[in-house]
Amino acid sequence: MTASDEFGHLDTPLEASNSPALTFEVFARCSKTKARASKMHLPHYKAHTPMFMPVGTMGSIKGITTKQLEALDCHVILGNTYHLGSRPGPELLEKAGGLHKFMTWDRGLLTDSGGFQMVSLLKLANITEEGVEFENPHDGQKMMLTPEMSIGLQNAIGADIMMQLDDVVSSLTTGPRVEEAMWRSVRWLDRSIKAHKRPTEQNLFPIVQGGLDVDLRTKSALELVKRDSPGYAIGGLSGGEAKGSFWRMVSLSTDILPTNKPRYCMGVGYAEDLVVCSALGVDMYDCVFPTRTARFGNALVRTGSLSLKQGRYSADFKPIDKDCDCPTCANYTRAYLHTTATKETTGCHLITVHNIAFQMRLMRDIRQAIVEDRYPAFIREFMRIRFGKTVPMWIVGALQSVNVDLTVPDSSGYSAEPVADDFQKTPNAEPEL
């Protein structure tokens, strides 16, 4: 597997920031869009951005060993504080020397605050100024997760990057609740910063909120910038909102957040979203999608995804992707995977490995294109393969805002004819081999 080497010849950053546990160096900027390629020095690893972080909820990426993750060139992976906090719990993790030692992973780790799981998984979650009140699913007892407790759990886990507990509202919510949540998140940030016991070993990222309201999101971002954090996350999105609102909130946030620090858009993982948001100036992403869809037999390719359970693949003796250098594509055909996907754990693992490799290769290609200042051409080529002419309108609009106009034909004659749908339901036709 190719190890990231995009920055080979570059050693002077264009801009940088030095925080107690994080140094961020921007080495290349796209001359047209807001994209940049950077190195992020974390306590455990030197990551390259823009970067995708696979999600390892309970301390493992479903069925994949840490040795395989290294071979796939993953730099940072996620753990979930809610799950790890209940099992194995903070005391055991401290005894083990932190999550890195517990799971034998020596690269980067990021933990979320636990708040999102709480609100999405639990039936009774009551949010007060103190914290999130919920019913423990095991014994029905009333419990509370406060910003202080979340930080305490995350300090025990010991990840390189921790997220503040935020008052997260659905992106579809409207009315005064959105503003209430935004201001409360700022107050909870300050409480989190105060409670943080390991600021030279772990980074605490605030999360920009404000729903889909321009005014509220602006205020949120400006407040967070005042705290001079090592990096910032853009939250409260990827919850089913219209993509037209989604990209505008992302772009607004990256316009306000400092350019010499990393910007992390939470819950983003579809290939086209990664390409567009990188053009809008985002550096970090996480999503369960690639690993989850693998377990349903879906393999990711540049045209979309292949549902390998479908009958059409039973005699298809090509690899998933001829341009992919992952072990699955080197060894197995779509026909073989068709026989075993969803039936054996090895079927799951083979497609999971490929999907992670797919995401890593996409991000490497994005970084390479930015370093060589040809990102707009890369975007056009990506969209041509992914959608053909029928590119979703929101993508066209988002890219136009950063000086890439897909509706204008390029030298190859390709141009987009935007469609209203946010998502393309059927995958694009595969290019002739």
Partner 1 sequence: MALRFELANIATSSTVVPRRGKLVLDRSATGGDSSAERPATVLETPTFFKYTRHGLQPHLVPEVAAELDALPMATRVQAEDFLESDTPDCVKFGDGLHKFIALDPADILLLDTLDPTITVRVAKSTNTYMSIDSEGGTRRLTPGLFAQLTNSLRPDIIIPPADIVEEPLPSLTQGKRISKSVARSAKWLEECMAALTHPAAVFAPVVGSHSLELRTMSAKALAARHDIAGYVFNDVCLTVPLEHKLRLVNHSLRILDASKPRYMLGASAPDAVLLAVLSGIDLFDSSYPYAVTEQGLASTYVLDQDNSANVLPHCLDMWQETMFADFGPLVDGCTCFTCRSHHRSYIHHLLKTKEMLATVLLQIHNTHWYQRFFADIRRSMERGSLAADAALFMQKYDCETQLSGGIGELNRLANRPFSELSTLSAQTCSPTTKIQRKRHAEPQVVTL
Q: Which residues are catalytic?
A: 112, 286
Least Å from the CB of residue 349 to partner 1: 5
- Residue 349 as a binder of partner 1 (CB under 8 A): the answer is yes
According to the binding rule CB under 8 A, does residue 317 interact with partner 1? yes
Please answer whether residues 172 and 198 qualify as being in contact, where contact means their C-beta atoms are separated by less than 8 angstroms.
Answer: no
358 binds partner 1 (CB under 8 A): no
Backbone angles phi, psi at 133, to 5 degrees: -95, 130
65 lines the binding site for partner 1 (CB under 8 A)? yes
| C-beta separation of 83 from 58 below 8 A | yes
Q: Are 386 and 428 in contact (CB under 8 A)?
A: yes
Q: Alpha-carbon distance 427 to 355, whole Å?
A: 16
Is the Cβ of residue 342 or residue 407 nearer to partner 1 in the bound state? 342
Minimum CB distance to partner 1, residue 204 (Å): 26
The answer to the question of residue 348 lying near partner 1 (CB under 8 A) is yes
- Determine the straight-line distance between the first and last CA of the chain, rounded to whole angstroms: 23
Q: Does 82 bind partner 1 (CB under 8 A)?
A: no
> What is the rounded distance in angstroms from the CA atom of residue 13 to the CA atom of residue 407?
34
Helix axis angle, 375-387 to 393-400, nearest 10°: 170
User: Which pair of tokens denotes residue 213?
Assistant: 């309201």
Q: Identify the sign of the CA torsion 250, 226, 210, 110.
A: positive
307 binds partner 1 (CB under 8 A): no
Give the one residue of 255, 325, 344, 421 binding partner 1; rule: CB under 8 A: 344
SS3 of residue 127 by DSSP: strand
- Which residues does residue 158 pair with via DSSP β-bridges, in sequence order? none
| Residue placing its CB nearer to partner 1 in the complex, 67 or 142 | 67
- Contact between 124 and partner 1 by CB under 8 A: the answer reads no
Overall residue count recorded for the chain in this entry: 433
Window of 22-30, 90-98, 157-165, 373-381 that interacts with partner 1 by CB under 8 A: 90-98
Per rule CB under 8 A, is residue 28 in the interface with partner 1?
no
Binding status of residue 292 toward partner 1 by CB under 8 A? no
Please tell me whether residue 23 binds partner 1 under the rule CB under 8 A: no
Stretch that binds partner 1, among 25-33, 61-69, 252-260, 265-273 (CB under 8 A): 61-69
Q: Does 83 engage in binding with partner 1 (CB under 8 A)? A: yes
- Residue nearer to partner 1 on the CB measure, 117 or 328: 328
Report the DSSP beta bridge partners of residue 40: 24, 47
> Does residue 88 have a cis bond before it (omega within 30 degrees)?
yes
Helical axes 393-400 vs 243-256, angle rounded to 10°: 20
Closest residue by Cα to residue 260 from 100, 2, 39: 39
294 lines the binding site for partner 1 (CB under 8 A):
no
Least Å distance, CB 132 to partner 1, is 22
Listed ranges 64-72, 126-134, 227-235, 261-269: which one lies at the site for partner 1 (CB under 8 A): 64-72
CA 90 – CA 60 distance, rounded (Å): 17
CA proximity to 166, closest of 218, 220, 98: 220
Any contact of residue 59 with partner 1 (CB under 8 A)?
yes
Q: Which of 104, 200, 411, 426 binds partner 1 (CB under 8 A)?
A: 104
Q: Which of 310, 331, 407, 412 binds partner 1 (CB under 8 A)?
A: 331
Positions 210 through 269 that interact with partner 1 (CB under 8 A): none
State which of residues 27, 332, 382, 387 lies at the interface with partner 1 (CB under 8 A): 332
* Strand 46-49, strand 36-41: pairing: antiparallel
**Phi, psi (degrees; rounded to nearest 5) at 156:** -70, -40
Whose Cβ is closer to partner 1: residue 18's or residue 345's? 345
| Residue 332 beta carbon to partner 1: minimum distance, rounded to whole angstroms | 6
CB of 346 to partner 1, least distance (A): 4
Per-residue DSSP letters for 26-38? EEEE-SSSS-EEE
For 65-123, where are the E strands, in sequence order? Answer: 76-79, 108-111
- Tell the smallest beta-carbon distance from residue 125 to partner 1 (Å): 21
- Residue 128 as a binder of partner 1 (CB under 8 A): the answer is no
Amino acid at 264: Y
58 part of the interface to partner 1, by CB under 8 A: yes
Does 318 contact partner 1 by CB under 8 A?
no
Binding site for partner 1 (CB under 8 A): 58-60, 62-68, 71, 83, 87-88, 92, 95-96, 102-104, 314-315, 317, 327-328, 331-333, 335-336, 339-340, 342-350, 353
